[in-house]
Structures are given as structure tokens and as C-alpha cells.
Amino acid sequence: MSKSARPHADGKTRCPWPGEDPFYMAYHDTEWGVPEYDDRALYEKLILDGFQAGLSWITILRKRENFRNAFDDFQPEKIARYNAKKIHALMDDAGIVRNRAKIEGAVNSAKAYLKIMEEGAGFSKFLWDFVDGKPIVNEFKTTASVPASTPVSVKISKELGARGFKFVGPTIVYAFMQATGMVNDHLVTCFCHEACSGKLRKPRLKAK
């Protein structure tokens, strides 16, 4: 169902998806859509988006600190060395999503990440080069206008997959792009839209 941004009790007009949940609203206000350029933080968000597959993002968000504790603060150098014993321990950890394929995928993705880092430019530049280093700023009025994937997310997905990353389908990658500010999909009437756009406006997809 199509939804537009709406005012909340604090007087701010937000995208509809956080609802009235204070925890979710804080994430929407301070993180989602804010450009992220840190290599390790981008790896963490990509892995968490992979764990989200088949689940709601709020489920992952509420478990994020548990994930960080379980996965050594998402340090790829450590995760790449996880052995069968560590994976078994993670499968016994009720604080995270216990999916063996996703856990093993995080290990494979850590190894792929390290290879990119060894190549020199870094993971952040590798990703941001797909959008010319600047956020793509969309101007959607309703949630129905927001795509599940785009040609750019398909391109990134294929490149990540070819390099050994797991759980990086086009839809997961697009959610990752939204979360890390590679694309600004805050609705135009949301108070965060302008703040996340800054001076880096680069309109691509028009509102329907």
C-alpha cells in the first residue's frame, strides 16, 4: 500500500516505515540515508543486510549489538579466520540470527573484503565509485514509488558476487545503498531528505 510521509508527535514529518517506534525512529533520523564512507562500517552494514534476507530490518536492528559482540565488532580480519568451532558457537548464540549459510557467508565476504582492501583503494571507494562518489538523490513522494532494486544495485550485486561476497542480491544491495546514503530515498516531504542530500544533489528517479 502506498504511504506518504506524515507528521509525528514531535512535529517532524518522517517517512512512514519507522511508525511510532522510538528505537526505529532514531535509526531513521540519525543513520538511514546518511552517507557512510568508512570501510569497516560499510562491511558491517552489508553483512547485516544479508542477515535481514527473509526478515524485517527492525528484527536485525534490535539484535545489532548482539551481532557486534558475536562477530568481534565486525572486524573482517578476525571474521575471515573463523573456523568450524567458531561457526558452531555462533549457531548456538540465541542473540543473533542463527542461519549457517548466512554465518558462513559473512566469513566468505570478509575474505573478499580483505582482497579488495589489499588492492589499494579500499572497500569504500570500490562501492562509492559506482555512484561517482556522491549520493544519488531521489525525489519520491510515496513509498510505492521506491524501487526494490535498480540497474546500479544490479551492477554492484554482480561485481560483489563475482568477488566472492555472499547474500548480495540486487534487492539486498539496494537496501544497503539506502541505509548507507549511496542513494537518498527519504521521501521528499521527510525532514531528513534535505539533510541527507546536502549539496550533493544528483536527481535520478522522479516521483510517481
Report the b/e string of 142-167 with b at 16+ CB within 10 A.
Answer: bbebbeebbebbeebbeebeeebbbb
* Rounded distance between C-alpha atoms, residue 189 and residue 118, angstroms: 42
Check the annotation: does 15 bind a ligand. Answer: yes
Check the annotation: does 190 bind a ligand. Answer: yes
* One-letter amino acid for residue 161 of the chain: G
Check the annotation: does 196 bind a ligand. Answer: no
- Three-state secondary structure call for residue 118: helix
Is the separation of the CB atoms in 173 and 149 below 8 Å? yes
Q: Beta-carbon neighbour count of residue 140 at 10 Å?
A: 24
Check the annotation: does 8 bind a ligand. Answer: no
- Three-state secondary structure call for residue 22: helix
Q: Enumerate the known binding-site residues.
A: 15, 28, 186, 190
Q: Enumerate the known binding-site residues for Zn(2+).
A: 15, 28, 186, 190
